[in-house]
């Protein structure tokens, strides 16, 4: 039986869509390799890796096997008072792969929750130290998720702050870094942050940002020196630094974690998306022993969070297989090859009247247009050309699975050029 699209339109909410006037959805029957297969048999080359997550592509034998094996043992068991091999293995892997100071792992169920957990860690840290600090500092154009705490540190001009005014806590924002990744560092770039921290450091619990690549808040790629300077400022004012690597983690920017571009260690690191190779929802918030133990020496004596699906064994087992697969692969070469191709192939878009900018880092390619695109129209054109690319606003961007072939990648970039010439 085919997918009931009428029922979908009438009863299902899709991300950021209207129930009155929903945009069309394409019915998917399966996905394999780097292709999404529609119900009518159309095969679309995937340019999105399902929002940064499916780094190895779809129907990956190693991940399928890990899931099947774990199903044979248990798919879930509560994490309060119980533990299991998949979670312990995952913690070992994450502690080994992330900067040396990060040793205490909180496994949760989604990226937004991982951010909530990070913010709560920072608040409890200061509470335990006997200081009331309830402000977070961040840069504009950020995106950290859709739950309330995460929303409160997203770009304030993105619509959500106004909509939820009075309910969202108000935090501190400064201009985002302007120096591009490949440009010469401009020391003036850190000044807005420096000024903000100088003025407000006594009320700030932590600084939170996406290192090097700002995703949903504008697909901006900035100079890593900004992070070096920020780390120095956080040390100077003894502020915690939270790196949200939910989108950038697991090799996407050409380094395993984007903080490595700046050789800095955050105090709290958030991971998600690619953690399970995009198989299921899982996230982790990792901090140092010193932060964790300070939190737990406070009045509460514990860290106050514990979701039902914490440490879900099925998701942890797949995450373990995904990390093993990534580390055993030559992902650096794959991502570097994608980067080179994106740079050469997307450059031609710059000659188009409708385009203002092209930027590439690792396996991320962005084409910015002068005017916002009509999503339904452009989506249909992409599907006609046999690719899956979902732009937002003025941004047509791709971050394909690392396993994409040269010809599949060419198909994606050709489609972008072709569609843009028709605008």
Residues 14-73 touching ligand PMP, rule: CB under 6 A, are 51
The binder of ligand PMP chosen from 99, 145, 254, 365 (CB under 6 A): 145
Nearer to ligand PMP, 33 or 47 (CB): 47
Residue 362, CA distances (Å) to 163, 297, 337 in order: 35, 41, 9
User: Any contact of residue 229 with ligand PMP (CB under 6 A)?
Assistant: no
- State the Cα angle at 85 between 306 and 320, rounded to 5°: 90
Q: Which residue is nearest to ligand PMP (CB)?
A: 111
The binder of ligand PMP chosen from 155, 210, 267, 339 (CB under 6 A): 210
Q: Distance between CA atoms of 234 and 263, rounded to whole angstroms?
A: 15
In this structure, what are the phi and psi dihedrals at residue 394, rounded to the nearest 5 degrees? -100, 10
Q: 317 by DSSP, 3-state: which? A: helix
In this structure, what are the phi and psi dihedrals at residue 271, rounded to the nearest 5 degrees? -125, 155
User: Any contact of residue 86 with ligand PMP (CB under 6 A)?
Assistant: no
Q: Are 419 and 385 in contact (CB under 8 A)?
A: yes
User: Any contact of residue 309 with ligand PMP (CB under 6 A)?
Assistant: no
Spot the catalytic one: 6, 7, 16, 132: 16
Q: Are 187 and 194 in contact (CB under 8 A)?
A: no
Q: Find, among 9, 15, 20, the residue nearest to 48 by Cα.
A: 15
Give the interface segment with ligand PMP, choosing from 108-116, 128-136, 166-174, 402-410 (CB under 6 A): 108-116
Nearer to ligand PMP, 216 or 314 (CB): 216
The binder of ligand PMP chosen from 98, 108, 110, 345 (CB under 6 A): 110
Residues 264-283 touching ligand PMP, rule: CB under 6 A, are 272
DSSP 8-state class, residue 216: T
Give the interface segment with ligand PMP, choosing from 155-163, 222-230, 241-249, 309-317 (CB under 6 A): 241-249
Give the interface segment with ligand PMP, choosing from 42-50, 77-85, 105-113, 254-262 (CB under 6 A): 105-113
The binder of ligand PMP chosen from 70, 98, 104, 112 (CB under 6 A): 112
Give the interface segment with ligand PMP, choosing from 106-114, 228-236, 259-267, 326-334 (CB under 6 A): 106-114
Total binding residues for ligand PMP by CB under 6 A?
15
Q: Distance between CA atoms of 350 and 234, rounded to whole angstroms?
A: 38
The CB-of-65 to ligand PMP minimum distance in angstroms stands at 25
Can you give the C-alpha Rg of the chain in angstroms? 21
Q: Are 155 and 187 in contact (CB under 8 A)?
A: no
- Burial (CB count <10 Å: 0-12, 13-18, 19+), residue 336: middle
- Which two structure tokens, joined as six digits, stand for 158? 């993105």
User: Any contact of residue 247 with ligand PMP (CB under 6 A)?
Assistant: yes
Please state whether beta strands 135-139 and 172-174 pair in parallel, antiparallel, or not at all (unpaired): parallel
The binder of ligand PMP chosen from 57, 86, 215, 365 (CB under 6 A): 215
Give helix 375-384 / helix 406-421 axis angle, nearest 10°.
130
The binder of ligand PMP chosen from 94, 216, 292, 366 (CB under 6 A): 216
User: Is 244 assigned a catalytic role?
Assistant: yes
User: Any contact of residue 177 with ligand PMP (CB under 6 A)?
Assistant: no
Spot the catalytic one: 46, 109, 155, 244: 244
Q: Are 152 and 136 in contact (CB under 8 A)?
A: yes
DSSP 8-state class, residue 388: E
User: Is 8 assigned a catalytic role?
Assistant: no
Which residues are designated catalytic?
16, 143, 244, 273
Residues near ligand PMP (CB under 6 A) are 51, 110-112, 115, 143-145, 210, 215-216, 244, 246-247, 272
């Amino acid at each position: 039986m085919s997918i009931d699209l009428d029922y979908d339109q009438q009863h299902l909410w899709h991300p950021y869509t209207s129930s009155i006037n929903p945009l069309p959805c394409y019915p998917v029957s399966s996905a394999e390799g780097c292709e999404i297969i529609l119900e009518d048999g159309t095969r679309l080359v995937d340019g999105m890796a399902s929002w940064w997550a499916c780094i190895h592509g779809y129907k990956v034998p190693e991940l399928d096997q890990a899931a099947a094996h774990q199903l044979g043992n248990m798919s879930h068991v509560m994490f309060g008072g119980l533990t299991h091999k998949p979670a312990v293995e995952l913690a070992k892997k994450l502690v080994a792969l992330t900067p040396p100071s990060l040793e205490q792992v909180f496994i949760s169920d989604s990226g937004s929750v991982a951010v909530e957990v990070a913010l709560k860690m920072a608040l409890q840290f200061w509470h335990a130290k006997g200081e009331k600090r309830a402000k977070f500092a961040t840069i504009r154009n950020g995106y950290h998720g859709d739950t309330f705490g995460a929303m409160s540190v997203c770009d304030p001009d993105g619509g959500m702050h106004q909509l939820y005014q009075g309910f969202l806590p108000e935090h501190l924002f400064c201009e985002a870094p302007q120096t591009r990744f490949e440009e010469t560092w401009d020391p003036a770039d850190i000044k807005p942050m420096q000024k903000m921290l100088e003025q407000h450091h006594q009320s700030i619990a932590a600084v939170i940002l996406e290192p090097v690549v700002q995703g949903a808040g504008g697909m901006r790629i900035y100079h890593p020196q900004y992070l070096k300077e920020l780390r120095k400022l956080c040390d100077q004012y003894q502020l915690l630094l939270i790196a949200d690597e939910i989108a950038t983690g697991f090799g996407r920017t050409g380094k395993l974690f984007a903080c490595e571009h700046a050789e800095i260690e955050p105090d709290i690191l958030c991971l998600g998306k690619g953690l399970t190779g995009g198989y299921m929802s899982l996230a982790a918030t990792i901090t140092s022993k010193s932060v964790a133990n300070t939190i737990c020496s406070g009045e509460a004596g514990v860290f106050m969070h514990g979701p039902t699906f914490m440490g879900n064994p099925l998701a942890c087992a797949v995450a373990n297989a995904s990390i093993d697969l990534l580390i055993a692969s030559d992902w650096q070469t794959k991502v570097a090859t994608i980067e080179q191709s994106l740079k050469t192939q997307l450059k031609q878009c710059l000659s188009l009247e409708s385009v203002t900018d092209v930027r590439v880092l690792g396996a991320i390619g962005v084409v910015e247009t002068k005017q916002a695109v009509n999503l339904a129209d452009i989506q249909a054109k992409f599907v006609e050309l046999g690719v899956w690319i979902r732009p937002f606003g003025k941004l047509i961007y791709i971050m394909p699975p690392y396993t994409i072939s040269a010809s599949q990648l060419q198909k994606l970039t050709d489609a972008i050029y072709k569609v843009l010439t028709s605008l």
